Amino acid sequence: MKKWMIIVSISLLVSLMLMACGQEKITKYHVDYGKEKAFFNGAKDAYPAGEKVTLYYDNIATDSSYQFYLDGELLQCSYYVDKGFEITFTMPNHDVSLTYTRSNNMIYVPESEDETEDGTENETEDGTENETVDEIGNDTEDGTKDEAEEVSKDGELKEYVSVSDLDAPHENIEQFDFVTVSDSEPAQSLVFETEETVTEFRILQLSLEDVDENGKPLFSYKELYLQEELTKEHPLCASVGFLGDLPNVGISYIDPAGNERFFAIEISGYDGSLIMTEF
């Protein structure tokens, strides 16, 4: 009898030990995404050590290159048009921080000489070279050169049109022109303003077609709205629809120098502000 009771007791003890082992909590470690977690598809707050983590980042701006870091170490990422940047890493046995850097890969290179179609330098009748006055600036009264208005100080073309949300402070709302470009949701009222008149101002619907080797998106576009002029006296307020994480709204115009310009509009993942990037 005692032998039987000992056997039963041992069996119960072994069962309890097995149950305790099965219920042992697996330690998970936290991933800090900053304010960007919503843009990392498949992201979880924590993972157990040794687990292979795969995420996709799709909040991609035009004319930009991205690099991703895990605790400051550069990650090698692949890009897929339908998913975004694929980020993979093995979770270590401690909390980590996942960050990224974004850089503008647009470069403006002003021409130093005026050339003809066959590549030769354009010369005047007396054989001297013809200066490209539009790019180097106009002569002032004292003979010095004025900085060209169409080129900003950092060498890039000047942006003549700015964008803001209608909810931002505006002093001259009574002078706004209002138009509804799209009634799709979520809709947002955007205010376009300029200090100098631009012509053939268009609001565009953008579609991502491809991404180059630097991660720069390439867009096709469809005209949604055309206004012959956008002036300082009459800013334009347009109701547009933002769909998905990639930019789907843009603008184009002809600036005072005669250049046709194209910009994509997106919402910052940091503070919700509007960003306009030329493409």
Total structural domains within the chain: 2
Residues forming beta bridges with residue 192, ordered by sequence position:
163, 236
| Residue where a domain terminates, one of 82, 104, 126 | 104
Which structural domain, as residue segments, surrounds residue 236? Answer: 157-278
* Three-class DSSP category at 249: strand
Of 19 and 106, which is predicted with more confidence?
Answer: 19
270 shares a domain with 184? yes
**Rounded to whole angstroms, what are the CA distances from 22 to 17, 18, 51, 232, 233?**
9, 6, 19, 71, 73
pLDDT digits (tens, 9 = 90+) for 236-279: 999 988 765 678 899 999 999 999 999 998 877 666 778 888 88
Torsion angle in degrees (nearest 10) through CA of 69, 99, 220, 210: 20
- pTM attached to this predicted model: 0.47
Question: What is the spatial distance between Cα 136 and Cα 6, in angstroms, rounded to a whole number?
Answer: 100
**CATH number of the domain that 248 lies in?**
2.60.40
180 shares a domain with 86? no
Q: Is residue 205 part of a domain?
A: yes
Residues forming beta bridges with residue 226, ordered by sequence position:
202
Q: Is residue 244 part of a domain?
A: yes
249 shares a domain with 164? yes
* Phi, psi angle pair for 122, to nearest 5°: -80, 125
Check if the beta carbon of residue 128 is closer than 8 Å to that of residue 241. Answer: no
Check if the beta carbon of residue 89 is closer than 8 Å to that of residue 77. Answer: no
Q: Is residue 223 part of a domain?
A: yes
Mean pLDDT of 132-138: 38
- In which order are the strands placed within the sheet that holds 73-75? 46-48, 28-32, 96-104, 64-70, 73-75
Q: Which of 37-41, 179-183, 186-190, 253-257 has the highest mean pLDDT?
A: 253-257
96 shares a domain with 165? no
Q: Is residue 64 part of a domain?
A: yes
Of 159 and 267, which is predicted with more confidence?
Answer: 159
CA 244 and chain centroid, separation = 13
Task: Please count the helices (runs of H) and the strands (runs of E) in the chain.
Answer: 2, 18
- Whether residue 105 is predicted with pLDDT greater than 50 in this model: the reply is no
Question: What is the spatial distance between Cα 96 and Cα 31, in angstroms, rounded to a whole number?
Answer: 5
100 shares a domain with 168? no
Q: Is residue 217 part of a domain?
A: yes
Confidence label for 153 from pLDDT (cuts 50, 70 and 90): very low
Q: What is the pLDDT of residue 144?
A: 41
Q: Is residue 197 part of a domain?
A: yes
Check if the beta carbon of residue 134 is closer than 8 Å to that of residue 118. Answer: no
Q: Which of 1-5, 127-131, 215-219 has the highest mean pLDDT?
A: 215-219
Q: Is residue 241 part of a domain?
A: yes
Q: Is residue 204 part of a domain?
A: yes
166 shares a domain with 90? no
